[in-house]
Structure 1
């Protein structure tokens, strides 16, 4: 087996020590924005931070920088995949941590580099890919410099990528700061994002990613922030925003099909979070949500204009709220969305397979 591989196996055994079986995949790498950021923004000069109460009020480790009251979708996916610990934030991960993966996500980040600059520092998708390139080199060194061993190891890992929301929220539809809406139609902007995203995902493939989950943009026209600004009655979703992101989502699904046909050994999965979120809205009572148009905490009209303020008292019945703040779902919503992406049998939600099937492939 060789010294380098034996050493890596020893590290994994140490990390996984205990009675539980090993995870379904050896590692999980996460890319995205505040929906899945778990602390990478804590040390940045930015308004997009969540390292204070009441964020994390229901999380086992308390305040970590997660933009919700408890676990994010990727936290829950990691648990469903059998990981004993949450995947560490890249900003604080040690080399030995990287054997089980890393979370590169950054609040306010987008596909475009300028996206989110109105909020301050962040780690764009291009920078996140660069950070993974550094990780790949560190893993190769763990394998004694054997790139073939490292490549085989990475090919069995899952890469979870969710980008694009801020390219609309903190770029295209923020017309007082950005001019993209004057330079692009909604259709040409979606096409431009898909071109940039395609290059970024191809770069991940070139660095060793083979099992890749890409998440659609959710119904951002229905979040409390947009409802408080643009909804006609404070609860009706903003149609022009949702129609714009649907163009992007359609292009992303087609991109997944194209990658699976053209990239050797690639297995890309499209999670249609837009469709899944519609199910939560249409069947809110079934899922236990009695409040779907305002946040559990936040300030402004219906808790929808700003995020939670430090030490603000949130609502007590958090499981009945779909949204935690003006932008982000509650843990209760994240649990449902994560389970859908992991095991849904519906091609309308996961295409061409779910994450559980991807892990077995």
Structure 2
């Protein structure tokens, strides 16, 4: 594992030097021609772009300083600028950002929609401690409503509709909140006392398999699913163990627990690709490995602060997200994390670039190869 990481690191360091020379924003703002007709996104606050704005929840980011570096300001994205899927959409050549489902109807849906919701999880009860949200089950149901609208656009020609959807890219990033806002929150949920870490992972995978199969039945054929990142290394966790200004260790209990889910998800992708869902192609995106690379070797990517958020430092003072109108750090490009949970824009762009073309973080093919199928 260490030798593999060293090889990967050398490759990525070379890419970083090239990126630094040209500028990250230039690469993303000069995208290729649009490569797929539509892009559908499912997930949580890591990719939510405004679906939680109008509901009663603490998981909301439609106020400054969120969006401080985004052209449209605070839209509901849980970062200072673009999210991972914003950058990914640009790499696929989309001229505009994929809109949130909550504000998108009619022909606009033909190029895709973002169904993600902050605090959402695979399980329905996940994240209810923060208020309302759309769980994965609800997000899949919302996509079902979208397919119903599509039927009218295609005048009942299901063959043409299915052909259209088969060319689209589907992204699903779920599981983080099932640990952060469920399994490891015993004051609100009993799951950690009811299930071992392995049993809980199996439970999540059983539900997730059903949900992804439902997406398949609704027309999804080219699907990206992500591993849970190193949630034991986010500022929310590190703030608990920080003493003075020394670098602290990650929470191994968290990281070890999610390893059961991540390995099971990779196996599930293999099962789907080996004939369980004929005609589909699933790609496993290893966010655990990419987040580990950035955290352990952040200085090589130009980051100077890897264990604190640019605002909303962590749990020590009860602040986990940016406060309204809070003054964030001045140079966001030096920070890996924007707040206690979410990466900065520059980190999101790096993750998108690494995931799009590298074979080291995706299985069995990279995202660019999936797009070209």
Do both proteins adopt the same fold according to a TM-score greater than 0.5, normalized to the shorter chain?
yes
Matches of residues 119-130 of structure 1 in structure 2 within 5 Å? Answer: 119-130=130-141
1:359 matches 2:367: no
**One of 252, 255, 261 as aligned partner of 2:274:** 261
Cα–Cα, structure 1 residues 301 and 245, in superposed 2: closer, same or farther, change >3 Å? closer
1:45 counterpart SS class = coil
Matches of residues 7-46 of structure 1 in structure 2 within 5 Å? Answer: 22-46=33-57
Shift of 1:282: 2.2
1:164 matches 2:175: yes
Matches of residues 1-361 of structure 1 in structure 2 within 5 Å? Answer: 22-229=33-240, 235-262=248-275, 263-299=277-313, 305-346=319-360, 349-361=361-373
Q: Which runs of 5+ in 1 are unaligned?
A: 1-19
Cα–Cα, structure 1 residues 135 and 285, in superposed 2: closer, same or farther, change >3 Å? same
Residue range with higher mean Cα deviation, 70-79 or 90-99: 90-99
Shift of 1:306: 1.6
Query: When the two structures are superposed, what TM-score results if normalisation uses the length of structure 1?
Result: 0.92
Distance 1:121 1:251 in 2: 29
Contact kept in structure 2, 1:294 and 1:303, CA below 8 Å: no
Distance 1:186 1:86 in 2: 37
User: What RMSD over aligned residues (CA atoms) do the two structures have, in Å?
Assistant: 1.6
Contact kept in structure 1, 2:241 and 2:248, CA below 8 Å: no
Distance 1:341 1:25 in 2: 17
Q: Which runs of 5+ in 2 are unaligned?
A: 1-30
Instruction: Give the length in aligned residue pairs.
Output: 341
Residue range with higher mean Cα deviation, 329-338 or 296-305: 296-305
**Which portions of structure 1, spanning 4 or more consecutive aligned residues, are displaced by more than 3 angstroms?**
230-234, 299-305
1:151 counterpart SS class = helix
1:359 counterpart SS class = helix
Distance 2:271 2:247 in 1: 40
